[in-house]
Structure 1
Amino acid sequence: MKITLLLSSLFTCLILNAQKIEVKLNVDNLDNQTVLTLDPKFLIDYYENPVEDSLQNSTNHNKVTLDKSNFYYPYSFSYQAEKNHFFSSQTFYLKDRNLNLNLTKLNSEIDSDIDERKEYNIFFKDFLKEDMKYENFHGEMFLKYKLNFPKEINDSVNNWYKRNWQQEMDLLNQYISKNPKSVIAFWRIVQKYEIHKTYNYDSLLEKFDPSIKASYPYQVLKNKIIEFKMYTPGKVFPKINNLKDINNQPYKIDYSKNKYTLIDFWFHACKPCLITFPDLKNVHKEFNSKGFEIIGISVDATKNISKWKNAVKKHELPWINILDENGSFSQNNQINSYPTNFLVDQNGVIIKRNISTEELKIFLAEKL
């Protein structure tokens, strides 16, 4: 009986071990015992079972153990050198094999994680060189001018970026046609979608093999695209329930009271949101009496409600201020960057998403 139990336990242990993989890391130019964090590379939404763990460089704690998965998921290692200053490794993919990363520097190239990487890098070799030239130029201009680019520099940067964007999309189209099982190309599309949601990715996604289409992250991306299309111009903005006003009373939006309404999603600690307020206040002052209103929707967490109210008071926001507590609506409707705004008409029909203050002023001057 004891032998049977021992064998049974050993068998169970082997099965459990067979479902795990190990990731080891050693970086030559990092101090021993530097703590590095294993981070999902993209939004957690895309990960069926996301892992966040840490290890120490060059010690007997330099590995993390995680469950095998049915699909390759992108991760990276990072560490904090000082306050608000992080360094990160190149992206690597984890699925069902152990990975041993012996790196000269933390950002050294990684090529042992997934079989297709060599083929992918060869195909995109010339593009990657061009993209690196753009990144270097953009970095040099930023160091020289910060955000105050002269017009000719700004135009040059923007045009170069657009050329690279379209070139990569064309190459991805060719590459996926030849390699419909490409995991790297799929995750690259995820990355590009999260930056530019308005591009039409449908034809590219349809080129993938059924094994990719059956994966968890593919379904997440498809659903995100479908939901995002709800916000294209001409669509009626979705109904938002459970909103509260500044006095904690239920609030129901009524677009019919004004000819045009700007729905502005923000939160109290969002600096890009806060810097828009002075210009928005000027637009509101000029056009509010003519049929224009702003509805500021905070996505602050319950614990930050007092901070939201203080921000409204501090910045003297003259428009309607309401709360989407814990961002329940925004999180369920693909609004995950802030500020995000929508200009709608009196029927709630979307006219434009993420309209700039200058564009808004021109539009209202023409219409009102």
Structure 2
Amino acid sequence: MKKILLSSFVLLNVICFGQNIKVSGKSYRPMKYKLLMVNAFNNKYYNGNQMRDSAAVDSGKFEFVIPSQTADIPYAYIFADRITENSFYNSDTFFINSKTKNIVVGKENLPQNFEVTNDETLIKTEVLKFQKYFENHNKEKDAFMKASQKEYEQIPDKEKVPQEFWDQYTSSENKLSVKEDSILLNFVRINPNSFVSLWKLVEKFERNGYSKIYDEIFSRLSSDLKSKPTAETLRLAIKEASVFQIGKKFPGSKIKNIKNPASEFILPKAEYTLVDFWFSSCKPCLEQMPNYVQLYSEYKSKGFEIVGIATDQKKYKNNLQITIQKFKIPWNNYWDEDGKQSSDWTITSFPTNYLLDKDGNIVAKNISEKELSSLLISKLK
């Protein structure tokens, strides 16, 4: 389809690993290749505790050695299981601290399960507390995903998934996310020292970008937790991304026009401008292009503009240019090489769009094609 965590009331201010940590693991999940262990989130949140290593799984057993580093809170990681040469399946998020000795991947007699459990008492206890609080919501999310997957599988041509499916999927997903934000806020009110919640807030912010409720959730964290480097990094990131609030002016940038590298990013003069973040191998991004082209041709003369910001890696620049030609995209596209600017703005989900008014102020985020069409019909007669 398109697009855990712990509280401690008795932690020392700094937990020093001191010596390399040898973590033994047992896997009930069959591994075709080596098991890859990586950060669950952006490196900037890890305070030097970044991880990227692989280990062979022999008779269901494996071992990782975590380098000696300073850890002020348990850090969040994931396992990646390589399914094919270029595709991976990720585990649930799990945590490691200086006392972790053993972890278990999956469950016996459930070969596809990719949960990860930790034997360290504090982590185990606090993760279970967090999961228990979110239990009903997680069941609702699982039911939604299963129903959506079933509906998706019934679509005969996967190359032509109806836009209505994506609109409905995105709308339902957003509603569940908003509900989850409220549950997280309530949990933090009860458990302000929960670094499970801190990492969950990192996850939500990295996935969704700025939202006022993320400011409130962060403010409810304990002073001790907010003093940690991970929390301070998150605070600064939320502050920087707050420029994308509804009503604020869309920020400037020095990214260059794809067709004219001498031309830096500029917003056109129009009654409404849609700023679309995309990349050339993003299937949902490409599926909406024909409709955007149609809307653009109908409403450009009436005051509607589109600006594209493509986040393709440098090695895919040629594919980006071919894609623009293939879809006959008539509006200006700017190349955010390797997504550096978008990452700074915490735009990590694609497509993402912002609708601007004539003064360049944000009036909507992730407006659907149906909503956009209705707005243009009513406002640009």
User: Distance between the aligned counterparts of 2:205 and 2:128, measured in 1?
Assistant: 21
Q: Which moved more, 1:336-345 or 1:267-276?
A: 336-345
The reply on whether 1:203 has 2:216 as its aligned counterpart is yes
Matches within 5 A, 1:298-317: 298-317=310-329
What is residue 66 of structure 1 aligned with on the other side? 67
- Once the two structures are TM-superposed, the CA of residue 178 in structure 1 deviates from its matched residue by 4.1
What is residue 238 of structure 2 aligned with on the other side? 225
Cα distance, 1:160–1:274 mapped onto 2, change above 3 Å = closer
The reply on whether 1:343 has 2:379 as its aligned counterpart is no
TM-score (norm 1): 0.81
User: Distance between the aligned counterparts of 1:156 and 1:80, measured in 2?
Assistant: 27
Read off the aligned partner of 1:202 and give its amino acid letter.
Answer: D
Segments of structure 2 that go 5 or more residues without pairing to the other structure are: 1-15, 156-163
* SS of corresponding position for 1:253: coil
What is residue 305 of structure 2 aligned with on the other side? 293
- Once the two structures are TM-superposed, the CA of residue 201 in structure 1 deviates from its matched residue by 2.4
* SS of corresponding position for 2:213: coil
- Once the two structures are TM-superposed, the CA of residue 339 in structure 1 deviates from its matched residue by 1.6
User: Distance between the aligned counterparts of 2:213 and 2:129, measured in 1?
Assistant: 26
Read off the aligned partner of 1:138 and give its amino acid letter.
Answer: F
Contact (CA 8 Å) 1:243, 1:325: kept in 2 or not? no
What is residue 151 of structure 2 aligned with on the other side? 145
Cα distance, 1:126–1:156 mapped onto 2, change above 3 Å = farther
Give the number of aligned pairs: 346
Matches within 5 A, 1:1-368: 18-28=18-28, 30=30, 34-49=33-48, 50-58=50-58, 62-68=63-69, 69-82=71-84, 86-103=88-105, 104-105=107-108, 107=114, 110-113=117-120, 115-122=122-129, 124-125=131-132, 127-128=134-135, 130-146=136-152, 162=175, 166=179, 169=181, 172-197=184-209, 198=211, 200-256=213-269, 258-368=270-380
State which structure, 1 or 2, has the greater radius of gyration over its C-alpha atoms.
Answer: 1
Read off the aligned partner of 1:187 and give its amino acid letter.
Answer: W
- Once the two structures are TM-superposed, the CA of residue 182 in structure 1 deviates from its matched residue by 1.5
Map Cα deviations across residues 141-165 of structure 1 (whole Å, 9 max, x no partner): 234322779x9xx999977995796
Read off the aligned partner of 1:335 and give its amino acid letter.
Answer: I
- Once the two structures are TM-superposed, the CA of residue 351 in structure 1 deviates from its matched residue by 1.6
Contact (CA 8 Å) 1:193, 1:199: kept in 2 or not? no
Segments of structure 1 that go 5 or more residues without pairing to the other structure are: 1-15
Cα distance, 1:28–1:313 mapped onto 2, change above 3 Å = closer
User: Distance between the aligned counterparts of 2:95 and 2:33, measured in 1?
Assistant: 22
User: Distance between the aligned counterparts of 2:240 and 2:326, measured in 1?
Assistant: 35
- Once the two structures are TM-superposed, the CA of residue 278 in structure 1 deviates from its matched residue by 0.7
Contact (CA 8 Å) 2:130, 2:196: kept in 1 or not? no
Map Cα deviations across residues 320-353 of structure 1 (whole Å, 9 max, x no partner): 2232333332222222222222221232122212
- Once the two structures are TM-superposed, the CA of residue 58 in structure 1 deviates from its matched residue by 3.1
User: Distance between the aligned counterparts of 1:114 and 1:187, measured in 2?
Assistant: 19
User: Distance between the aligned counterparts of 1:317 and 1:81, measured in 2?
Assistant: 35
- Once the two structures are TM-superposed, the CA of residue 89 in structure 1 deviates from its matched residue by 4.0
Contact (CA 8 Å) 1:54, 1:64: kept in 2 or not? no
Aligned-residue identity in percent: 28
User: Distance between the aligned counterparts of 1:46 and 1:158, measured in 2?
Assistant: 30
Structure with greater contact order relative to length (CA < 8 Å, sep ≥ 6):
2
User: Distance between the aligned counterparts of 2:151 and 2:188, measured in 1?
Assistant: 39
Read off the aligned partner of 1:21 and give its amino acid letter.
Answer: I
* SS of corresponding position for 1:187: helix
- Once the two structures are TM-superposed, the CA of residue 73 in structure 1 deviates from its matched residue by 0.8
- Once the two structures are TM-superposed, the CA of residue 39 in structure 1 deviates from its matched residue by 1.9
User: Distance between the aligned counterparts of 2:361 and 2:207, measured in 1?
Assistant: 24
* SS of corresponding position for 2:117: coil
Map Cα deviations across residues 244-275 of structure 1 (whole Å, 9 max, x no partner): 3414332351433x222211122221212111
- Once the two structures are TM-superposed, the CA of residue 200 in structure 1 deviates from its matched residue by 0.7
Contact (CA 8 Å) 1:267, 1:308: kept in 2 or not? yes
* SS of corresponding position for 2:72: coil
* SS of corresponding position for 1:125: helix
* SS of corresponding position for 1:241: coil
Map Cα deviations across residues 35-86 of structure 1 (whole Å, 9 max, x no partner): 1111212233322221110111237963233233222111122322346664
- Once the two structures are TM-superposed, the CA of residue 235 in structure 1 deviates from its matched residue by 0.9
- Once the two structures are TM-superposed, the CA of residue 314 in structure 1 deviates from its matched residue by 0.9
What is residue 3 of structure 1 aligned with on the other side? none
* SS of corresponding position for 1:250: coil
User: Distance between the aligned counterparts of 2:176 and 2:348, measured in 1?
Assistant: 27
